[in-house]
């Protein structure tokens, strides 16, 4: 973060401390717009990766986004011939060929304050919310969602109907992170307090939250999150939907089981992603 961003952070913290119901200072709007501009350009991010590999939210950036909602009236936003109504500070973004983003017609939208790097491809309909960061070469397929402040790396494939959850409040809550070269299968859901490490593969239908235990058949361990620690899917892990037996005589008599993700193998340089999934999902 540059010195100018240090000044901006102090301004945002000062404006955010204004009691509810009191008018915000006149220059609050300019500060919020500066943050949204910097988020779109990629100069700022709503979450950062520490040297030890952990991810942390950037609370003042989230406060700026929340200020944008707080200070803005709801206005009409004619867009593609439809009369949308939303907060004035959060209109849909427009792109030009020089941005290097391919946004295919058909009902998609990218909200103000979201960063899409050159080489991103968006297939309709999809949605990217404010504060999200999407790296170069990533494909966002039809019906996929990238939630507010979610961090998606480079060369990621978000398959059809994948849901990458957003975390805007509380401002210090763990971000949702998909690192580089991850494949997220169709109808997957990755939600608050989850980090999917580089090169991992999530088979279709895998659901991950901080509270989800992930059973690792290769390393014979269970990966868990906690109140102060994100759930982490290891690098190159191949994860598929699985099931575990429910304890108790009655549950066993009924043959009940709970859905749970299972790591069935780890990718290496010779492993083809599609083949790795095919072998385990037949």
Same domain, 140 and 244: yes
Same domain, 129 and 54: no
Same domain, 196 and 267: yes
Same domain, 42 and 111: no
CA–CA distance, 230 with 211 (Å, rounded to integer) = 9
Task: Provide the pairing of β-strand 163-164 with 145-146.
Answer: parallel
Q: Is residue 101 part of a domain?
A: yes
Same domain, 101 and 51: no
Q: Is residue 82 part of a domain?
A: no
Residues spanned by the domain of 34 = 3-71
Same domain, 176 and 109: yes
Same domain, 32 and 164: no
Q: Is residue 39 part of a domain?
A: yes
Per-residue pLDDT tens digits for 68-98: 999 999 999 877 677 889 999 999 999 999 9
Mean pLDDT of 249-256: 95
Same domain, 38 and 110: no
Same domain, 53 and 124: no
For 33, what's the count of Cα atoms within 13 Å in the CB-facing half-sphere?
9
Q: Is residue 86 part of a domain?
A: no
How high is the pLDDT of residue 122? 97
In sequence order, which residues have a C-beta less than 8 Å from that of residue 82 and are 6 or more positions away?
Answer: none
Task: Provide the pairing of β-strand 201-202 with 47-49.
Answer: unpaired
Which CATH number do you get for residue 270? Answer: 2.160.10.10
Q: Is residue 77 part of a domain?
A: no
Same domain, 105 and 60: no
How many domains does the chain divide into?
2
Same domain, 134 and 205: yes
CA 46 vs CA 1, 6, 8, 50, 53: distances in Å:
12, 15, 14, 13, 16
Answer whether residue 17 shows pLDDT above 60: yes
Percent of the chain at pLDDT above 90?
85
Same domain, 50 and 140: no
Which CATH number do you get for residue 54? Answer: 1.10.166.10
CA–CA distance, 223 with 185 (Å, rounded to integer) = 20
pTM (whole model) above 0.75: yes
CA–CA distance, 3 with 14 (Å, rounded to integer) = 17
Answer whether residue 1 shows pLDDT above 70: no
């Amino acid at each position: 973060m540059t010195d100018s961003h240090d000044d901006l952070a102090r301004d945002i913290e000062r404006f955010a401390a204004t009691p509810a119901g009191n008018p915000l200072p006149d220059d609050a709007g300019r500060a919020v717009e500066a943050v949204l501009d910097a988020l779109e350009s990629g100069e700022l991010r709503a979450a950062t990766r520490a040297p030890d590999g952990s991810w942390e939210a950037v609370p003042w950036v989230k406060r700026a986004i929340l200020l944008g909602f707080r200070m803005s009236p709801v206005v009409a936003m004619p867009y593609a011939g439809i009369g949308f109504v939303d907060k004035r500070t959060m209109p849909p973004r427009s792109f030009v060929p020089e941005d290097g983003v391919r946004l295919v017609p058909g009902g998609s939208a990218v909200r103000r304050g979201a960063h899409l790097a050159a080489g991103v491809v968006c297939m309709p309909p999809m949605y990217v919310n404010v504060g999200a960061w999407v790296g170069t070469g990533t494909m966002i397929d039809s019906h996929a969602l990238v939630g507010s402040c979610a961090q998606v790396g480079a060369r990621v494939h978000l398959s059809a109907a994948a849901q990458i959850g957003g975390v805007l409040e509380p401002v210090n809550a763990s971000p949702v992170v998909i690192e580089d070269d991850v494949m997220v299968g169709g109808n997957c859901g990755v939600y608050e307090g989850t980090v999917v490490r580089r090169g991992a593969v999530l088979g279709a239908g895998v659901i991950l939250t901080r509270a989800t235990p992930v059973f690792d058949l290769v390393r014979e361990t269970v990966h868990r999150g906690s109140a102060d620690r994100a759930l982490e899917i290891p690098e190159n892990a191949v994860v598929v939907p699985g099931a575990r037996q429910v304890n108790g005589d009655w549950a066993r008599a009924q043959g009940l089981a709970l859905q749970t993700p299972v790591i069935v193998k780890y990718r290496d340089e010779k492993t083809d992603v599609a083949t790795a999934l095919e072998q385990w999902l037949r």
